Amino acid sequence: MMRVRPYESADWPALWCVIRPVFRAGETYAYAPDISEADARAVWVEAPAATWVAVDDAGAVVGTYYLKPNQPTLGAHVCNCGYIVAEQARGQGIASALCEHSQEEARRQGFLAMQYNLVVSMNTSAVRLWKRHGFELVGTLPGAFRHPRQGLVDAHIMYKWLG
C-alpha cells in the first residue's frame, strides 16, 4: 500500500536518494547530471509551490512530484509538474497514482491546466502513461534534449485542460 503526502523537511535524505540516480543518469530531466545536492533541493523542493512524496507502508519514500505555476502571472493558471519514482518501486502504479494526485491537487489550488514542458521522446513509458491520463502531445521540439547515449533527441510538450 502506498500513500501520497506533502513533503516534510525530514524527507530530504530519502528523497535525495530517489531523485539523485535519475538526475545522474541524465536521460529524462534537463538538469546537469552532476547537479549538487543543494541545487537539486532548490529545484525540487524550494522553488515549486508544493512537493509531495509517495511513501510505502513502512514510511519509505518511493516517489515524488512537485507542482508549480508553469509561467508567471498571465500564464500562472497553467501548472507544471515533475515526477520521479524510486527505481526499486517502478512498475507498481506509483507514477500513475502521483499523476492522478497531482491533477487533483492542481485543481484544488485553482490551476486550470497542466503542461509538461520537456518529455523526452525516448521516455516512451512516460509518454504512454501521460496519454493514458488524458494528456495530449501538443508539440515536438526536434533535437531539444541532449541524451547522454543517443545524442540530440526530440522532446515533447504535453498538455491537459483541468478546468
Q: Which contacts qualify for 54-58: CB closer than 8 Å, 24 or more apart?
A: 54/2, 54/3, 54/4, 54/85, 54/94, 54/97, 54/98, 55/2, 55/3, 55/4, 55/5, 56/1, 56/2, 56/89, 57/1, 57/2
Full residue range of the structural domain in which residue 100 is found? 2-161
DSSP state of 27: S
Tens digits of residue pLDDT in 33-54: 999 999 999 999 999 999 999 9
For 35, 54, 123, 152, the CA distances from 58, given in Å and listed in that order, are 29, 11, 30, 41
Q: What is the mean pLDDT of residues 10-20?
A: 98
pLDDT digits (tens, 9 = 90+) for 47-98: 999 999 999 999 999 999 999 999 999 999 999 999 999 999 999 999 999 9
- Structural contact between residues 33 and 15, judged by C-beta atoms closer than 8 angstroms: no
Count the domains in the chain: 1
Task: Output the pLDDT for position 117.
Answer: 97
Q: Is the pLDDT of residue 1 over 90?
A: no
**How confident is the model at residue 163, as a pLDDT?**
84
pLDDT at site 121: 98
Q: Give me the pLDDT at residue 75, please.
A: 97
CATH number of the domain at 103, please: 3.40.630.30
pLDDT of residue 80: 98
pLDDT at 35: 98
Would you state the pLDDT for residue 138? 98
Mean pLDDT within 27-37: 98
What are the pLDDT digits (tens) for 120-163?
A: 999 999 999 999 999 999 999 999 999 999 999 999 999 999 98
Does the global pTM surpass 0.85? yes
